[in-house]
Every structure is written in structure tokens, then in C-alpha cells.
């Protein structure tokens, strides 16, 4: 099996982009780091390819912002708009241009990234998502391109710059919140577990239940791939049962609207029959009726920090990979009610 740039980076304890800079004789790399990388290359028998390294110039001119692959849902989610606004605000102050990369699938996104890479237009990339088995991240690593993940790194965690919330803690806290209101039958509605934030929020929900001595019931947990999917038959069946959940943790405000719609169709009242707490504190939470209690994850700050870090690491490539945790808070509104069971 051929040795890759990721193998060299792991052995040397640096990022793939640092290996790429060493291969291209970037003067910004320290002597110590250069020797460590060259030793790892020699030890593994890595044959350095001729790379058109777009990052030898430490004066950053453009950052690519990569949205997750989607047909529709992503473009309706205000999380991405707020995060892009945070990135743009910082980049504008630094006179750095941005380029938004979108696509209906991974292949379309990858094609756009390859074009930017080969043309030398982008000095780095910010991914506004973190999924398992992502060929986009694989491409960025293999070519030693500088990138920052808004979310949790799935691989090469120690060499990846990441800006994230503590979603495990947030998932636990919102479930604790419902427990403190007297709820004991608490359900979960979220996106697919391939999105690491959804996986962590669900894990936090499960952890809270276990810490309170409550059973984790699989029939109370639902995952929806797309808000355009109206196949809510199983969820509606649960809502019609006598022992249905009295409250739900929902991983995103947009999914909370899906749950609200199902409740309306079944003539269930929020919060009298079902309490709902969700995430993102978006305009959907404020415009829904009743208004949603929601977790503010500080999307603007996530974007601002991501832009700051990518420019900083481009200018100072010897820096260790930074991991920043942005705080969250619960914004209380009208969708949750105290009960006595």
C-alpha cells in the first residue's frame, strides 16, 4: 500500500499541509520541523511528488468556504448564513476574499475544490460541517492543503484545526433541563449520525437519561435524513400512544418545525402535550408558534474564530493545530412546560 502524505504527517506529528510545505521548500518552516518531516519521509520511503503548493505565499488572498453536500436543506438553514457572516466579517477586516463552494453531492464539491487548488486561487479552506468518511477532507489532506473544520475532526484529530461547540455537553444539558421540569419520558429527534454534531448531541441526551436512572428507549429516538422527507408515519404512531414522550430534544430548529407540524396534524398542543427544546436559536425558533426554547451555539463566533485561525496558521505554519470550543447557552421561550407525572 502506497505511503501517503497523511502517513508522513502522523509519524512526524505535524499537519499534512506542513508536510506539503516541506516538500516545496517553504522558508517559513523551521529547521527542526523540516528535519523531523524529512526523517519521517525517509523512514517511510515517501517519494515527494511535484506539488503546486498554493500556500508558499503567506499573504492570504482568498479562503474557500465549503458547505456540506445538499440538494435543498443546507440553503434553508440559517446556521450556515450566520457562520459565513462571521467568516466574512473577519476576512473583510483582513482584506481577504472568500469563495463559497457548494454542490448537490461530494463529487460536485470536490470538482470545485480541485479547480480552486489547481488554479492557485485559494490559500485554504473552511469546512462548515464534519461528516464521517468525507472524501473532501481526504483530498485536502492528500494534497497538503490548509483547512479548518467548523465541527469535530473525524480523523487526524491531533493535526486538524477545529472550531466547535461541546455538543455532548449541550445534549446532556438540554435533557437535564427537561428532566428538571419534571419530564421522565423524553424523546429525541435528529439528523443522521454521520453528522458528528448530531451524533454528539444524541450521545449527550442518552448520557443524561442514564445519569438520571432513566431507560434509553430506541423507539423514542428518530433520525430524519431531510426535512423534505414527509415520511413521519412511525413518529406519528408514537405521538398517538398513551405512553408517548412528554418532551423531545431536537438537534436542529428546522427539525423542530417538522415535529411541530406532526403535533398540529395530530391536534397535540405544544407545550401542554409535548415540550420541545432544540438547537441553533435561529429565526425559525423565534418565528414558530409557540416560540422554541433553543440552544444558541454562537454561529457567528464559530465563523469568526475559523477565519482567524486559518489566516493565522497560513501566516505561521509551525503552529500546532488549534482546537477552540465556543460556548453555548439555552435561550428559554414558550415551548417547554413544567409537568407532574
Is the preceding peptide bond at 271 cis, omega within 30 degrees of 0?
yes
**Do the beta carbons of residue 275 and residue 183 sit within 8 Å?**
yes
Range with the largest mean pLDDT of 4-18, 71-85, 99-113: 99-113
Report pLDDT for 80.
95
State pLDDT tens for residues 68-92: 998 677 888 999 999 999 999 999 9
Question: Per the structure block, which three cell numbers stand in for 11?
Answer: 509519524
Q: How confident is the model at residue 230 (pLDDT cuts 50, 70, 90)?
A: low
Chain mean pLDDT for the chain:
90
State pLDDT tens for residues 259-318: 999 999 999 999 999 999 999 999 999 999 999 999 999 999 999 999 999 999 998 888
**CATH 3.40.50.2300 domain span(s) along the chain:** 57-164+300-328, 167-296
State pLDDT tens for residues 234-246: 899 999 999 999 9
Question: Per the structure block, which three cell numbers stand in for 106?
Answer: 461530494
Q: How confident is the model at residue 56 (pLDDT cuts 50, 70, 90)?
A: very low
Q: In CATH terms, is domain 57-164+300-328 a member of 3.40.50.2300?
A: yes
**Do the beta carbons of residue 226 and residue 232 sit within 8 Å?**
no
Element (H, E) at 249: strand 247-250
Q: Is the pLDDT of residue 54 over 70?
A: no
CATH code given to domain 167-296: 3.40.50.2300
Element (H, E) at 312: helix 299-315
Residue labelled with grid coordinates 477586516 = 93
Report pLDDT for 329.
97
Q: Is the pLDDT of residue 94 over 80?
A: yes
Q: How confident is the model at residue 159 (pLDDT cuts 50, 70, 90)?
A: confident
Report pLDDT for 229.
58
Residue % of the chain over a pLDDT of 70: 93
Q: How confident is the model at residue 47 (pLDDT cuts 50, 70, 90)?
A: confident
Report pLDDT for 2.
77
Report pLDDT for 116.
93
Q: How confident is the model at residue 96 (pLDDT cuts 50, 70, 90)?
A: very high
SS3 content of the chain, % helix, strand, coil (to 5): 45, 15, 40
**pLDDT greater at residue 156 or residue 181:** 181
Report pLDDT for 21.
76
Report pLDDT for 14.
83
CA-CA distance, 38 to 226, in Å (whole number)?
Answer: 46
CA-CA distance, 161 to 113, in Å (whole number)?
Answer: 19
- Averaged pLDDT for residues 90-106: 94
**Do the beta carbons of residue 183 and residue 248 sit within 8 Å?**
no
Report pLDDT for 44.
85
State pLDDT tens for residues 303-316: 999 999 999 999 88
| Long-range contacts (CB closer than 8 Å, 24 or more residues apart) made by 31-40 | 33/318, 36/12, 37/8, 37/12, 39/12, 40/8, 40/11, 40/12
Amino acid at each position: 500500500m502506497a505511503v501517503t502524505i497523511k502517513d508522513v504527517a502522523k509519524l512526524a506529528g505535524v499537519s499534512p499541509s506542513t508536510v506539503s510545505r516541506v516538500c516545496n521548500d517553504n522558508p517559513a518552516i523551521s529547521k527542526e520541523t523540516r528535519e523531523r518531516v524529512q526523517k519521517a519521509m525517509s523512514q517511510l520511503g515517501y517519494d515527494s511528488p511535484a506539488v503546486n503548493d498554493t500556500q508558499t505565499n503567506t499573504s492570504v488572498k482568498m479562503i474557500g468556504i465549503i458547505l456540506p453536500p445538499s440538494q435543498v436543506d443546507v440553503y434553508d438553514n440559517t446556521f450556515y448564513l450566520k457562520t459565513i457572516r462571521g467568516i466574512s466579517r473577519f476576512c473583510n477586516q483582513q482584506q481577504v476574499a472568500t469563495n463559497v463552494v457548494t454542490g448537490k453531492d461530494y463529487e460536485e464539491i470536490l470538482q470545485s475544490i480541485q479547480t480552486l487548488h489547481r488554479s492557485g486561487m485559494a490559500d485554504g479552506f473552511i469546512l462548515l460541517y464534519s461528516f464521517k468518511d468525507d472524501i473532501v477532507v481526504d483530498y485536502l489532506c492528500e494534497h497538503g492543503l490548509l483547512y479548518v473544520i467548523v465541527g469535530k475532526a473525524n480523523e487526524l484529530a491531533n493535526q486538524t484545526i477545529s472550531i466547535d461547540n461541546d455538543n455532548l455537553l449541550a445534549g446532556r444539558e438540554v435533557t437535564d433541563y427537561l428532566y428538571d421540569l419534571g419530564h421522565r419520558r423524553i424523546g429525541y429527534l435528529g439528523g443522521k449520525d454521520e453528522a458528528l454534531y448530531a451524533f454528539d448531541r444524541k450521545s449527550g441526551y442518552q448520557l443524561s437519561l442514564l445519569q438520571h436512572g432513566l431507560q434509553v428507549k430506541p423507539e423514542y429516538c428518530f433520525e430524519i435524513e431531510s426535512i423534505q422527507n414527509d415520511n413521519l408515519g412511525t413518529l406519528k404512531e408514537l405521538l398517538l400512544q398513551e405512553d408517548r414522550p412528554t418532551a423531545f430534544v431536537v438537534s436542529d430548529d428546522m427539525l423542530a418545525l417538522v415535529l411541530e407540524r406532526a403535533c398540529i396534524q395530530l391536534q397535540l398542543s405544544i407545550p401542554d402535550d409535548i415540550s420541545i427544546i432544540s438547537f441553533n436559536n435561529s429565526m425559525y425558533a423565534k418565528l414558530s408558534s409557540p416560540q422554541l426554547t433553543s440552544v444558541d451555539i454562537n454561529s457567528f463566533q464559530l465563523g469568526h474564530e475559523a477565519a482567524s485561525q486559518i489566516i493565522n496558521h497560513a501566516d505561521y505554519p509551525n503552529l500546532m493545530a488549534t482546537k477552540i470550543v465556543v460556548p453555548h447557552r439555552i435561550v428559554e421561550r414558550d415551548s417547554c412546560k413544567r409537568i407532574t407525572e
